[in-house]
């Protein structure tokens, strides 16, 4: 991957926060549907129609405000915003990011300005840009999650809530919510009561059986799943003998984790074929997005690729559309879960 400094800086707050159109109408999710030529790019996600199958992954796109100067964000199906908590969080000590072969490790620690800031600034801006929003929520306790979800009730333009349950659980310090089926069930049940829009549970790949955790989330009221969050990893500076990340361990993202993500999406789609999945993990181009769709994702989220190429979105959408045209696929939704495993049924011979 090229260094993180390439392209414009897309994640810093700017003076543009003052330019919010406070009278803006929120978008309707299907509005501005991208339908170029014969290919219908829209997908249905838990009853909500997205105009295209690609969305931003939480934490990797800010609110999209900076990049919107360069292209129309309405090409995206939705923007998934940085996970927000009840109060602002300061995050972990620096360094917070380190590049690794085919990926990067981050230990940001969910730094964010809190749900009130989101409602007052980011959401208003996203409404003015007419971009549907997937609101990612986080917390250290069940009560924190519930209160953030409650605060977002009726928020204009929020088409779904994504519960980032892949963060530490202070009520059970030994685990993250999504590392345990019982904890997953408890937190999703509690959040579900507050949420009027579709609820997606964002799951961790760092488990023995992701289908077991997915089942617990779905039985408890999640209508969809976001797969996958980062893979836990670490890197050591051998000259200093210190960890490269201030937080010691971090989350690995980017192409290095794509096969893990594709496998997770495939496994969960096989177990729950009717459940909408937002697939993510190492998607860098249209090929990778198509791989996710074929594995069973209804929509595809893109995170780390934004740091490498902030202009990836139009290329992704054009590439998906080209593929569909070449293969005479009228609707991108028809690709979901079309993986043909029969081709993989080979007989093993002893060598």
Ligand X SMILES: Cc1cc2nc3c(=O)[nH]c(=O)nc-3n(C[C@H](O)[C@H](O)[C@H](O)COP(=O)(O)O)c2cc1C
Q: State the catalytic residues.
A: 167
- Give me the residue whose beta carbon is nearest to ligand X: 59
Q: Which of residues 159-218 bind ligand X (CB under 6 A)?
A: 164, 202
Nearest distance from residue 340's CB to ligand X, in Å?
A: 25
Shortest Å distance, C-beta 27 to ligand X:
22
Residue 229 is a binding residue for ligand X (CB under 6 A): yes
- Kindly tell me which residue out of 73, 188, 207, 280 binds ligand X, with binding defined by CB under 6 A: 280
Which H or E run contains 43? strand 43-45
Handedness of CA 322, 323, 329, 330 (dihedral sign): negative
Distance CA 303, CA 258 (A): 12
Is residue 275 close enough to count as binding ligand X by CB under 6 A?
no
Answer whether 265's CB lies under 8 Å from 279's CB: yes
Specify the residue, 99 or 150, whose C-beta has the smaller distance to ligand X: 99
Q: Quick check: 268 binds ligand X (CB under 6 A)?
A: no
**DSSP SS3 for 300:** strand
* Binding segment toward ligand X, per CB under 6 A, in 58-66, 122-130, 152-160, 292-300: 58-66
What's the rounded Cα separation, in Å, for the pair 284 and 1? 10
Write 324-332 long-range contacts (CB < 8 A, 24+). Answer: 324/39, 325/37, 325/38, 325/39, 329/39, 330/38, 330/39, 330/40, 331/39, 331/40, 331/42, 332/39, 332/40, 332/41, 332/42, 332/43, 332/53, 332/293
Q: Between residues 43 and 81, which has the closer beta carbon with respect to ligand X?
A: 81
CB of 39 or CB of 131, closer to ligand X: 131
* Subset of residues 282 to 311 that bind ligand X, contact rule: CB under 6 A: 282-283, 302-305
Residue given tokens 């029969």 in the structure block? 342
CB of 214 to ligand X, least distance (A): 15
Write out the binding residues for ligand X, residues 105-144 only, by CB under 6 A.
106, 108, 110, 136
Q: How far is the CB of 342 from ligand X (least distance, A)?
A: 29
Triad 115, 196, 66: Cα angle to 5° = 40
Specify whether the CB–CB gap between 204 and 229 falls below 8 A. yes
Please report, as ranges, the residues that interact with ligand X according to CB under 6 A.
57-60, 82-83, 106, 108, 110, 136, 164, 202, 229-230, 253-254, 257, 280-283, 302-305
């Amino acid at each position: 991957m090229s260094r993180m400094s390439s392209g414009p800086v897309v994640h810093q707050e700017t003076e543009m926060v003052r330019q919010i159109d406070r009278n803006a109408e929120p978008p309707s999710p299907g509005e501005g549907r991208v339908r170029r030529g014969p290919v219908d790019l829209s997908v249905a996600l838990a009853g909500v129609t997205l105009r295209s199958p690609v969305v931003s992954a939480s934490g990797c796109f800010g609110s999209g405000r900076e990049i919107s100067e360069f292209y129309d964000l309405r090409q995206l199906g939705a923007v998934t915003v940085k996970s927000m908590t009840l109060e602002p969080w300061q995050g972990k000590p620096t360094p917070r990011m380190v590049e690794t072969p085919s990926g990067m490790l981050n230990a940001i620690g969910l730094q964010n300005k809190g749900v009130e800031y989101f409602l007052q600034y980011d959401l208003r801006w996203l409404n003015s840009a007419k971009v549907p929003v997937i609101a990612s929520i986080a917390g250290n306790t069940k009560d924190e999650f519930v209160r953030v979800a409650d605060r977002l009730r009726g928020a204009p333009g929020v088409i779904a809530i994504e519960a980032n349950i892949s963060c530490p659980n202070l009520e059970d310090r030994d685990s993250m919510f999504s590392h345990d089926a019982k904890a997953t069930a408890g937190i999703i049940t509690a959040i579900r009561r507050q949420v009027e829009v579709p609820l997606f549970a964002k799951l961790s790949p760092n488990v023995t059986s992701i289908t077991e955790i997915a089942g617990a989330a779905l039985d408890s009221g999640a209508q969809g799943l976001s797969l996958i969050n980062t893979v836990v990893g670490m890197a050591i500076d051998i000259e200093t003998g210190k960890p490269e990340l201030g937080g010691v361990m971090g989350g690995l993202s980017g192409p290095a984790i794509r096969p893990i993500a594709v496998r997770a999406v495939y496994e969960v789609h096989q177990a729950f074929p009717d459940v909408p999945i937002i697939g993510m993990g190492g998607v860098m181009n249209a090929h990778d997005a198509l791989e996710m769709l074929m594995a069973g994702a209804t929509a595809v989220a893109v995170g780390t690729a934004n740091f490498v190429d902030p202009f990836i979105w139009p290329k992704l959408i054009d590439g998906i559309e080209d593929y569909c045209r070449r293969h005479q696929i009228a609707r991108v939704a028809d690709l979901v879960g079309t993986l043909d495993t029969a081709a993989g049924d080979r007989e093993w011979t002893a060598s």
